[in-house]
Structure 1
Amino acid sequence: MLLVIAGLGATPAHARVTRIVVDEVTPLIGEQRGYERLRGRAFGELDPADPRNAVITDLRLGADPDGKVRYETNWVITRPVGRKAASGFLWHDVPNRGGEVRLQPGELAAGDIGLRSGWQADNAGSTGVPRWRPEAARHHYVRVPIARVDGMPVTGTVMARIVNRRGPDSQPLLVQGNPVPYLPVSLDTSRATLTIHTKETVDGRITTAGAVDPKDWAFARCDAEHPFPGKPVDIDPSRAPDNLPIHVCLRDGFQADRVYQLTYTAGNAYVLGVGMAAFRDVGAFFRHEKADDTGTPNPIAGQVRGSAIRGVSQSGNMVRQFLFMGLNQDEAGRQVHDGAWAIIAGRRVAANARWGQPDGVLELYQMGSEGPQWWVDWPDRVRELPAKGLLTRCTASKTCPKVMEHFGAAEVYALKLSLEWVGSSADVDIPLAPEVRRYYVAGSPHGGGAGGFRHPGGTTPFSCPGNQFGQATLAPNPVPHRELRNLLSAAMRDWVLKGTPPPPSRYPTLARGELVDPTREAMGFPAGVPGIPDSVFRPENFVFPVFDYDWGPDFDRVEAAGVPDRVPPAIRRVLPAKVPRVDADGNEVGGVPTVLTMAPLGTYLGWNITANGIHAGQVCNYAGGYVPFARTRAEREANGDPRLSLEERYRDHAGYVAAVRKAADRALAQGFLLKADHERLLKEAVASDVLR
């Protein structure tokens, strides 16, 4: 249903959303009762001559004949209606790979407004631009131009990797489960290179088996019915994303435990930074404007007193990139958002370089750690880059938001987080800007675990995240982020609307001796913990370090922008990393008080061990792990386990409940636990089967 809303007079739309349409209005039910959802689209334009847009790579190469660059994106608003009291606070949530985002129960109860809109402009998979009926899309997309010179698409080299696949069937070119977005300009395999890797270590050492003869592979789909050379793939850019993913067919099939690395020439270079600017403009429109240029009213005009941009994981990295690019200031010079919350994110998303792949998760040869990752201006001494920070541009324009970030141990071990804390030299605690708060959930997995008090906990095998990375060896880590996230949601609202400061930052530092070298000895990790061999702590297996890549002379190493023309890049150097120190149980020290780690049932790890494939024996990308304590002393001694058993620690169920109560009281007293969560955790502990 297309609604044309009339009423308010048109005012100039400085944010450069020139037109909106509301395609659907739906009353919500269940826990969202009292809310309605609006789905719509926004159409906007950018001025390449505006200095605020100059940061966008290839912007002028995407201009229409009149010199403007245009985009289309969809958006979703959830707003309280009827007698539901509105808080006046807007969350502008960044979709993760085109997915939907919902307000949390506490935010619904408070009467917050939710806004989501597209930003990831690579037009592939779950971010693909609908070719038919865009008004019906249920994922978030943004349509942006392709870079052209003299009317012809620019071309360049793109890399894709096929990991741990086997068998005669063709395999897709994927990055973190989504299709690689760039189409080859030719099916001629002599113009591409397919190389086999038989070994890759986490510290960047590669063993190759050479290149595959161009006659022995094809850009094609093949299976038992269509054997090699198979059916050629469709490489017409006008039919993207429907012709993705691109497939590769091998004459002799794929072998497990190998990486097939492909470089080829592509020709549909999306101007990715336009998607970032579109997100800015949509946020500015709904925050500031009364109506679009045609007179269609802003459906939440006058209802927003404060707002925050928020993203989780990949979309949290987008928040950091958004601020680094100075996009919290719109084309009219206004501040877009009052707050920013980057969740489980410690890098910048690759969304402003030609041929960028925003879906990447910092696996080998993926962008994301280039340039400053810290908040204040700070020199990058090892990479010999000038002093700069994520807030440099907004500080100059006086448009910086109040910033919160929180993350856990998985981000340290696989997502290269320590660079943000200690810089490229890993020998100094980089200070935080005055209005930045940082919170670390020690020993927790990516996004937090399931929580609860279960022993021994889940043991179901699960896959390592990433592109066919392998299977995990250890049980999943249950340490939750739920309680901290509930607290910080309320804290951000109060910080923006009332000026109430949130809790002080809590994270490990060098100065307190909480960050150490990533070795078993420096960490103090106990020997003999069941399921954890000493070999996992070797440099080739353990922490994913930051690589200082050489992407070529046309790539800006500070901005992570421009044109990477050396693909794959050379590794100039491997930067040192730090990890948190651990206690006698192998549990990390430092960070916010978390009930499950203060009343532990085992060792909670920000890493796991890969069981199979080319990464066997290495950390399982960014999966967390859990090694439960033995129940009795006799059991632990039989297993050679150096850690005290549950009975030795707590004696019985009542003793464990008392430990949970003490931990919850401590977290509550320190301001890191809401009263409602305190009561819930105590009830869960009483109802648990621990030592029953």
Structure 2
Amino acid sequence: MKSTTWALAAVAVVLAGAPSPAGARVTRLQIDKVDPEAFGGQAFGAAGPYEVVSGRVFGELNPNDPHNAVIQDLRLAPRNARGRVEYSSTFALSRPRDMSKASGVLVYQVANRGGGAVQGSRDGHLQVISGWQGDMVPGAGRQTLSVPRATAEGPVLVRFVDIAAGARTAPIEVGSVRMVPAPTPVSLDTSTARLTWALADDAPPTVVPASDWAFADCAATPFPGRPDPTKLCLKAGFDPKRAYTLTYRAKDPLVLGIGYAAIRDLVAFLKYADADQAGAPNPAKGGARFAIGTGVSQSANVLRSLVHLDQNISEDGRVVFDGVLPSSSLRQNALDFRFAVPGGGAALYDYGTEGIMWWSPYQDRLRGLPRASVLDRCTASRSCPKVIEMFGGSELWDLRGSPALVGTDAKRDIPLPPNVRRYFNPGVTHTGGRGGFSLAGVKLGSCLLAANPNPASDTLRALTADLIDWVAKGIEPPPSAYPTLAAGQLADPKVVSAAFPQIPGVPAPLGALNPLPTYDYGPTFHAADLTGVMALQPPGIGGHVPLLVATVDADGNETAGVRSVLNQAPLGSYVGWNYATTGYAAGLGCGSNGGFIPFAATRAERLAKGDPRPSLEERYGSRDAYLGKVRAAAEALVARRLLLPEDAARIVAEAAQTDAFHALAPARQP
């Protein structure tokens, strides 16, 4: 297998072919800067030094084109003289300075909340990143998309959690990790809106009287403060033990669904076009026979929804991505409904798991959805990509991913179609850990357990190379490897929690499970596709979807799927869950963070602590024996094409530097 150097971020890959006339609806590609000394002039193997081209892409969409019909509110957006809706996005592209050394591979990186950067590649790949999230605020290094606003109104919900005690003003923002301004209220009259608070997600809400809060800034002016549609002022001040929910009627929604078309059209342009409509050359000119898209977390959600909504085919009917690799995700992106929140997480009322999550047809009777799959539309349009899907433990414990595997009745495995492969990273936190071979856990904010170092990026790089081989060379990827009901590797969280070892100071994992409510947003919201208009905010909650998690061994480690070297030669328990110790969620899951519970170094230490798990001394005996196990695990993964040789060498070298065995008797040291 050809070795590949990849960024840890989400990527999309395009293999070059012969150029063809422009057909994608990119009207102009503006180059603002060319940096011929990118990456400090570093030479990337035989590909040599790289340069980075950056600028802006301008495009337009025909609201009457069937390919764009799914974009919510596109018909309500302003149009130019040609009757088209315009948008523009930032982009950056890296390419070998000597294009004769280019591999013919273009790497499109799906930005995560505007973040990400292109890199060089020893294999001569080109890489590009661009904006797709239309509500992202511009900032240094961010990739952004400018989209129009539609003339429309509708209900909006905003939650306020963990606001500092005594604070009287809070910004009205939505999303997670990188917050963005919430939609503009139609009126600042609080009698037309509603503010409530609750002590827990499942506790009954208490209404805050309209006279006790305001759309205002009270930071420098006493209540009712200075009127401000972007801020909420609470007369009595906020209580960090409470979660506040604001619902109001908003206006002028951004047409965020254009984000899918912006990705579609840019990749199609780079894949097929010689030049833009003004004659400016395609900076990736050389053609593109294949396109492969990958994304991590939010970026993976985007790719899954892009395929589901039939945006993998350009306006002129040509396939965009021949393969996709969504990782650290099993759900869709909340982008294509009125007042959508594409940057949200998995908290109460966050979106992404309401609709179709499965690759093969399944009828969601629990939520009243028709028999359908993510691939239905692309099957009809003959534009389905090959798919490699990767996910880890946190996607089951926090991100509510098991319905993608077993449906909402959790009774049987949903089979995968021939064009889909699936791989599970056991015992991995969301997006994976940093790796390393240390017993010293790293403190993780207010989480109870230390940060989980178990990596996923090594597997992702190998699977990306496997997907390229599958699409470009017809070489089948390794067999799918993930937990199933049939194999007894998926179980009720109560069963798994009861089987988890009783470790002093570590609670059983059941309380960290993030439940999945069934929501009712009204008849104008199309839950199956995450499109339409939400008529009910907050939504009605009718119950919960049963969730399953991966089973564990006597150490508390998950073992199904693609076991990393660290999972096969563990220094502790690597779990996909954690507990919050402070704030509104204290005693519940600590977001999508996993945890690490190190083993005792010696038998004496283990017995003194009352830890039932064998110590390093008992399970390995010596540092040399441990390194032998690490080496064997790495070699086996390389042989299975689930680890690149260069990553295997790095991991073995890192293990050789471990200090985990210093406490063992000197006689047992090499």
State if a TM-score over 0.5 links the two structures.
yes
Q: Which residue of 1 aligns with 2:214?
A: 218
Cα deviation digits, residues 249-298 of structure 1 (max 9, x gap): 21121112110111111112111111211211111111101111221221
* Residue 171 of structure 1 pairs with residue 170 of structure 2: yes
* Residue 372 of structure 1 pairs with residue 385 of structure 2: no
Residues 545-584 of structure 1: pairs in structure 2 closer than 5 A: 545-584=515-554
Measured after TM superposition, the shift of residue 335 of structure 1 is 0.4
Partner of 1:657: helix, strand, or coil?
helix
Partner of 1:585: helix, strand, or coil?
coil
Q: Could you tell me whether the CA contact under 8 Å between 1:603 and 1:626 is conserved in 2?
A: yes
Measured after TM superposition, the shift of residue 398 of structure 1 is 1.3
Partner of 1:272: helix, strand, or coil?
coil
Q: Which residue of 1 aligns with 2:637?
A: 667
Q: Could you tell me whether the CA contact under 8 Å between 1:89 and 1:493 is conserved in 2?
A: no
C-alpha change, 1:522 and 1:482, in structure 2 (3 Å) is closer
Q: What is the alpha-carbon distance in structure 1 between the residues aligned to residue 334 and residue 313 of structure 2?
A: 20
Q: Which residue of 2 aligns with 1:114?
A: 127
Tell me which amino acid in the other structure corresponds to 2:66. Answer: P
Cα deviation digits, residues 42-83 of structure 1 (max 9, x gap): 222211221111111122111426532221122211111227
Q: Which residue of 2 aligns with 1:98?
A: 114
Q: What is the alpha-carbon distance in structure 2 between the residues aligned to residue 375 and residue 63 of structure 1?
A: 36
Tell me which amino acid in the other structure corresponds to 2:427. Answer: G
Partner of 1:511: helix, strand, or coil?
coil
Partner of 1:52: helix, strand, or coil?
helix
Q: Which residue of 2 aligns with 1:465?
A: none
Measured after TM superposition, the shift of residue 456 of structure 1 is 3.1
Residues 295-314 of structure 1: pairs in structure 2 closer than 5 A: 295-314=279-298
Q: Could you tell me whether the CA contact under 8 Å between 1:221 and 1:230 is conserved in 2?
A: yes
Partner of 1:591: helix, strand, or coil?
coil
Q: Which residue of 2 aligns with 1:391?
A: 375
Tell me which amino acid in the other structure corresponds to 1:44. Answer: G
Partner of 2:387: helix, strand, or coil?
strand
Q: Which one of the candidate residues 433, 455, 458 is aligned to 1:449?
A: 433
Q: Which residue of 1 aligns with 2:193?
A: 192
TM-score, normalised relative to structure 1? 0.88
* Residue 529 of structure 1 pairs with residue 503 of structure 2: yes
Tell me which amino acid in the other structure corresponds to 1:512. Answer: A
Q: Could you tell me whether the CA contact under 8 Å between 2:92 and 2:118 is conserved in 1?
A: no
Q: Could you tell me whether the CA contact under 8 Å between 2:24 and 2:268 is conserved in 1?
A: yes
Cα deviation digits, residues 624-643 of structure 1 (max 9, x gap): 10111111222222222111
Q: What is the alpha-carbon distance in structure 1 between the residues aligned to residue 99 and residue 253 of structure 2?
A: 49
* Residue 55 of structure 1 pairs with residue 70 of structure 2: yes
Q: CA RMSD in A?
A: 1.9
Tell me which amino acid in the other structure corresponds to 1:24. Answer: K
Q: Which runs of 5+ in 2 are unaligned?
A: 1-18, 44-48, 663-670
Q: Which one of the candidate residues 482, 488, 495 is aligned to 1:507?
A: 482
Partner of 1:29: helix, strand, or coil?
helix
Q: Could you tell me whether the CA contact under 8 Å between 1:120 and 1:142 is conserved in 2?
A: yes
Q: Which residue of 1 aligns with 2:6?
A: none
Residues 325-336 of structure 1: pairs in structure 2 closer than 5 A: 325-336=309-320
C-alpha change, 1:95 and 1:401, in structure 2 (3 Å) is same
Tell me which amino acid in the other structure corresponds to 2:223. Answer: F
C-alpha change, 1:63 and 1:11, in structure 2 (3 Å) is farther
Cα deviation digits, residues 287-329 of structure 1 (max 9, x gap): 1011112212212122434321221111110010110011110
Measured after TM superposition, the shift of residue 527 of structure 1 is 4.0
* Residue 232 of structure 1 pairs with residue 227 of structure 2: yes
* Residue 23 of structure 1 pairs with residue 32 of structure 2: yes
Q: Could you tell me whether the CA contact under 8 Å between 2:496 and 2:552 is conserved in 1?
A: no
Q: Which residue of 1 aligns with 2:46?
A: none
Partner of 2:122: helix, strand, or coil?
helix
Q: Which residue of 2 aligns with 1:36?
A: 51
- Compare 164-173 and 627-636 and name the one that shifted more: 164-173
Q: What is the alpha-carbon distance in structure 1 between the residues aligned to residue 572 and residue 39 of structure 2?
A: 40
Q: What is the alpha-carbon distance in structure 1 between the residues aligned to residue 604 and residue 539 of structure 2?
A: 54
C-alpha change, 1:32 and 1:281, in structure 2 (3 Å) is farther
Tell me which amino acid in the other structure corresponds to 1:173. Answer: I
* Residue 628 of structure 1 pairs with residue 598 of structure 2: yes
* Residue 686 of structure 1 pairs with residue 656 of structure 2: yes
Q: Which residue of 2 aligns with 1:483?
A: 458
Q: What is the alpha-carbon distance in structure 1 between the residues aligned to residue 42 and residue 415 of structure 2?
A: 40
Cα deviation digits, residues 574-616 of structure 1 (max 9, x gap): 1111100000011012010311011111111100011012211
Q: Could you tell me whether the CA contact under 8 Å between 1:452 and 1:684 is conserved in 2?
A: yes
Tell me which amino acid in the other structure corresponds to 2:29. Answer: I
Q: Which residue of 2 aligns with 1:6?
A: none
Cα deviation digits, residues 630-687 of structure 1 (max 9, x gap): 1122222222211111111111222221221232233233332222222222222222
Q: Could you tell me whether the CA contact under 8 Å between 2:393 and 2:429 is conserved in 1?
A: yes
Identity, in percent, stands at 44
Q: Which residue of 2 aligns with 1:382?
A: 366
Cα deviation digits, residues 407-450 of structure 1 (max 9, x gap): 21111111111111111111111111212121111000111111
Partner of 2:254: helix, strand, or coil?
coil
Partner of 2:300: helix, strand, or coil?
helix
> How many aligned residue pairs are there?
634
Measured after TM superposition, the shift of residue 530 of structure 1 is 2.6
Measured after TM superposition, the shift of residue 524 of structure 1 is 5.3
Q: Could you tell me whether the CA contact under 8 Å between 1:607 and 1:622 is conserved in 2?
A: yes
* Residue 139 of structure 1 pairs with residue 142 of structure 2: yes
Q: Could you tell me whether the CA contact under 8 Å between 1:269 and 1:355 is conserved in 2?
A: yes
Q: Which one of the candidate residues 245, 248, 253 is aligned to 1:269?
A: 253
Q: What is the alpha-carbon distance in structure 2 between the residues aligned to residue 11 and residue 690 of structure 1?
A: 58
